[in-house]
Amino acid sequence: MEELMKLPYEYDALEPYIDAQTMEIHHSKHHQGYVNKFNAAMENSELKEKSVEEILKDLNQIPEEIKKAVVNNGGGVYNHNFFWGILKKETPFKEDSEIGKAIIEKFGSFDKFKEEFSNAAATQFGSGWAWLVLNKENQLEIIQTKNQDSVISLEMKPLLNIDVWEHAYYLKYQNKRPDYIEAFWNVVNWEKVNELFSEAKS
Ligand code: MN
Q: What is the identity of the amino acid at 25?
A: I
Same fold, 20-85 and 98-201: no
- What pLDDT digit, counting tens, does each position of 1-10 carry? 899 999 999 9
Burial of residue 7 (CB within 10 Å: 0-12, 13-18, 19+) is middle
Q: 183 CA distance to ligand 1 centroid (A)? A: 16
pLDDT tens digits along 41-50 = 999 999 999 9
Q: CA-to-CA distance for 87 and 172, rounded, in angstroms? A: 17
Q: Does residue 104 surpass a pLDDT of 90?
A: yes
The CA 177 to ligand 1 mean position distance, Å, reads 14
What is the whole-number distance in angstroms between the Cα of residue 128 and the centre of ligand 1?
9
pTM: 0.97
Average pLDDT over residues 166-186: 98
Share of the chain above pLDDT 70, in %: 100
Q: Report the SS3 class of residue 145.
A: strand
Mean pLDDT of 140-159: 98
Classify domain 20-85 at the CATH superfamily level: Fe,Mn superoxide dismutase (SOD) domain (1.10.287.990)
How far apart, in whole angstroms, are the C-alpha atoms of residue 128 and residue 186? 21
DSSP 8-state class, residue 4: P
Q: Which CATH topology does 98-201 take?
A: minor pseudopilin epsh fold (3.55.40)
pLDDT tens column, 57-73: 999 999 999 999 999 99
- The domain segmentation of the chain, as residue ranges, is 20-85, 98-201
pLDDT at residue 158 in the model: 98
Task: Report which secondary-structure segment, H or E, holds 196.
Answer: helix 190-201
